[in-house]
Amino acid sequence: MSLANMVIIDEDALICDLAETYGIFDMWSLPAQLVATLAIGLRDNSRIKTKILKMDMPLEDYLLAAIFDCVNWLCWTHTKGAERGNNMPQRIVDVLTQKSQEQDQDDLATFASGDEFERARAALLGE
């Protein structure tokens, strides 16, 4: 991942990460090579790297939600509802990932033929 790609993906996230991590408030006043080196060195859960990986939230938050789900399920197994198969708790991980899956589906377009694709492409390009 290059500095230029990071700027294109989300310049504001990169600026915030550089300010938070290194105290750099004006990355444009520094040599590009230095800024690129510092940007690559940002932690994996920084705003820009999270965005590059298309994660809605840091991995640690997903792991914490999974731990909560496991503990919640273990507690539920000791209830009378579990004996009857009732009131199983909803998984938080499913709720968190469902939003991103729905967004991915909204961005998906399918076409029955090449001509249909070409018409949609022309409409998007204003041809």
- Give the pLDDT of residue 120: 87
106 pLDDT higher than 70: no
* DSSP characters over 107-124: T----SSHHHHHHHHHHH
In this prediction, residue 105 carries a pLDDT of: 54
Pick from 93, 86, 33: nearest CA to 69: 93
pLDDT exceeds cutoff 90 at 12:
yes
With cut-offs at 50, 70 and 90, classify the pLDDT of residue 45: confident
Residue predicted with more confidence, 106 or 39: 39
Name which of 10-19, 52-61, 71-80, 105-114 the model is least confident about. 105-114
Domain boundaries, the chain: 3-52, 58-127
Query: 95: pLDDT confidence band, cut at 50, 70 and 90?
Result: confident
To the nearest 5 percent, what fractions of the chain are helix, strand and coil?
Answer: 70, 0, 30
